[in-house]
């Protein structure tokens, strides 16, 4: 526990530029995490049906009720109920294989492309059932953008990468409008300065961090309502990570963001709420600082103190 606090401080010293002040979005940042506070509460120990903490939120935008996901016989997500608010950042954490990516992929129906995957339960986006028969997954994915673990720019020019989404969705009436969308998106992703003279070069020629920001630009160019991020920084160095985290801060004003991460520091820095998954179950959800200072479930505590995972 002490080690974790220390690490946080050193990181803050090392990367002051990443700490742009906005405490509404990063509530955990300036609060000390006291080991004493943690001991006071009695913890839930069994891995039961019931999620500990507050699964509901004030202004829900995505509502998932009793969601189960099966890969063939493998019950990968078990009875998960969770609400995600409009313009909030929620972090999904948990040991490898616990189903974070699977849950994330339910939210934009990317699991459809896996033959063995089966999703049951109710998932609603802004009140609309996204697994309903009248909903087109293609249209859904334009509203729920996704950024992947490994940067995956298309083998096209930087410009064409960003213009891809607007083109297929017909968002731009003419070339000038398209240029405009591409430039704003790159700008919001913090990449414009670095690439504005090389828009025709292949996107695959950028550095890893730049590629990831290009993928984020590509996603926001479609103007989605939600952005899903599956370990977006795991292939990046600390500086590139800090830039992406800043970006998440900024984007969180307009978008609901669901981010999967293995870094507790990152979860603490960027998210408003944290959801802890374990073996396909949603064990605990709460405000970020509550989870990190005072988890109510034994498994959550073990995970964030480094005893599992």
Partner 1 sequence: MQNLTLILLLAAMAGGAFYAGRRRSFAVVGGPAHGAQLHSLPGYYGYFTLIWCLLPALGLFFVWVLLEPKVIVALIVQSLPDPQRMVSEGELNLLVNNIRNLAAGDAISGDADAVMRDAAERYNEYLAASRRVLATLTLGIAGLGGAIALRRIRPEFRARNRVEQVVLYLLIAASSIAILTTIGIVLSVLFEAIRFFREVSLTEFLFGLTWSPQTAIRADQVGSSGSFGAVPLFTGTLLITTIAMVVAVPVGLMTAIYLAEYSSSRVRAVAKPLLEILAGIPTVVYGFFAALTVAPWVRTAGEAIGLEVASESALAAGLVMGIMIIPLVSSLSDDAIHAVPTAMRDGALGLGSTRSETMIKVILPAALPGIVGGILLAVSRAIGETMIVVMAAGLAANLTANPFEAVTTVTVQIVTLLVGDQEFDSAKTLAAFALGLVLFVVTLCLNVIGLMFVRKYREQYE
Least CB distance from residue 119 to partner 1, whole Å? 16
Closest CA to 260 of 109, 107, 115, 121: 107
What gap in Å lies between CA 19 and CA 265, rounded to an integer? Answer: 13
* C-beta of residue 208 within 8 angstroms of C-beta of residue 151: yes
Least CB distance from residue 224 to partner 1, whole Å? 9
- The partner in contact with residue 56, picked from ligand ATP, Mg ion, partner 1, none with C-beta cut-offs of 5 to 8 angstroms by kind, is none
Write out the residues near partner 1 by the rule CB under 8 A. 108, 110, 113, 115, 138-143, 145-146, 148, 150, 152-156, 164-165, 168-169, 202, 204, 215, 218-219, 222
- For ligand ATP, the binding residue among 53, 60, 99, 224 (CB under 6 A) is 99
Least CB distance from residue 73 to ligand ATP, whole Å? 10
Beta strands in 86-194 (DSSP E): 89-93, 117-125, 128-129, 144-147
Least CB distance from residue 212 to Mg ion, whole Å? 16
CA torsion 158→160→165→168, rounded to 10°?
A: -170
- For ligand ATP, the binding residue among 101, 252, 261, 300 (CB under 6 A) is 101
- For Mg ion, the binding residue among 64, 101, 212, 288 (CB under 5 A) is 101
Q: How many helices (H) and strands (E) does the chain have?
A: 12, 11
The single residue listed with the structure tokens 């509550």 is: 290
Residues 234-293 that bind ligand ATP (CB under 6 A): none
Closest CA to 102 of 255, 280, 221, 263: 280
Q: Please, which residue, 33 or 158, has the CB nearer to partner 1? A: 158
Q: Which chain residues interact with ligand ATP by CB under 6 A?
A: 71, 74, 76, 94, 96-102, 114, 116
């Amino acid at each position: 526990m002490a080690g974790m606090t220390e690490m946080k401080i050193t990181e803050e010293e090392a990367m002051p530029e990443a700490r742009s002040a906005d405490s509404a979005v990063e509530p955990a940042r300036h609060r000390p995490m006291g080991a004493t506070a943690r001991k006071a509460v009695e913890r839930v120990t069994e891995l039961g049906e019931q999620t500990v903490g507050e699964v509901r939120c004030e202004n829900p935008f995505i509502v998932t009720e009793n969601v189960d996901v099966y890969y063939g016989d493998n019950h990968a997500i078990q009875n998960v109920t969770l609400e995600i608010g409009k313009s909030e950042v929620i972090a999904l954490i948990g040991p490898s294989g616990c189903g974070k990516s699977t849950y994330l992929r339910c939210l934009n129906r990317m699991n459809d492309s896996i033959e063995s995957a089966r999703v049951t339960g109710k998932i609603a986006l802004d009140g609309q059932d996204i697994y309903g028969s009248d909903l087109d997954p293609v249209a859904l994915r334009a509203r729920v953008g996704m950024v992947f673990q490994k940067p995956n720019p298309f083998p096209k020019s930087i410009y064409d990468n960003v213009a891809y989404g607007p083109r297929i969705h017909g968002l731009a009436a003419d070339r000038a409008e398209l240029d405009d969308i591409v430039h704003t998106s790159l700008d919001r992703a913090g990449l414009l300065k670095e690439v504005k003279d090389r828009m025709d070069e292949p996107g695959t020629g950028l550095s890893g961090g730049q590629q990831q920001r290009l993928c984020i630009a590509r996603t926001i160019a479609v103007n989605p309502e939600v952005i899903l991020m599956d370990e977006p920084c795991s292939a990046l160095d600390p500086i590139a990570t800090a830039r992406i985290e800043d970006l998440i801060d900024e984007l969180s004003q307009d978008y609901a963001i669901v981010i999967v991460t293995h870094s507790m520091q990152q979860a603490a820095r960027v998210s408003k709420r944290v959801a802890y998954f374990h073996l396909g179950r949603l064990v605990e959800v709460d405000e970020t600082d509550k989870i990190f200072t005072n988890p109510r479930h034994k498994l959550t505590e073990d995970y964030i103190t480094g005893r599992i995972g």
